[in-house]
Structure 1
Amino acid sequence: MLIALLGLANSLMWPAIFPLAIKGLSKYTKIRSALLVTGIAGGVILPQVYALLAKNMGAQSAFLCSMVPCYVYIFYYAVSGHRSASK
């Protein structure tokens, strides 16, 4: 149940991340937004990686190895990573 709620939280973050990522890019806005949309592929690939790891090393270890780095990067981007894109 809690993992399903995590998906809900992810879907609510997307409208906030997208404008931050393309803010102030002028002529690169189209390219950057296209690359950002390809990030949606992570929603297809990472669960498959998680399932493979979970089968081999257990669910908890697989979550730590496959999903936690993604959430750490999202946190970095929210705190300071988006500033480097707008410089």
Structure 2
Amino acid sequence: MKSETSPFSFKSIIPIGDENKSISKTYSVWGTKWDVREVLVESNGRGGIGIAFETAYSPVPKVIEVLAKKFPQAKFSYEALVTSL
């Protein structure tokens, strides 16, 4: 599923507005240059979900922290796979 049609996006978790959307702004707010790409949402079979997504170059702990604060009743775990070219 492409992020343009996904309900999961960094701008829905931490809005920054299109007028302020420079690379330095998105990096300081989200921790990465661009919004999420290639989102996969799956049920874990135990009443929860898993969300896998791609980002530009770096993990996004800031986004996950804000998401966890918005949903304090939910349990979050976060893993990042960082590769270099």
| TM-score of the pair, normalised by structure 1 | 0.25
Which structure has greater helix proportion? 1
| TM-score of the pair, normalised by structure 2 | 0.25
**Structure number with larger C-alpha Rg:** 1
Which structure has greater strand proportion? 2
Bigger relative contact order (CA 8 A; separation at least 6):
1
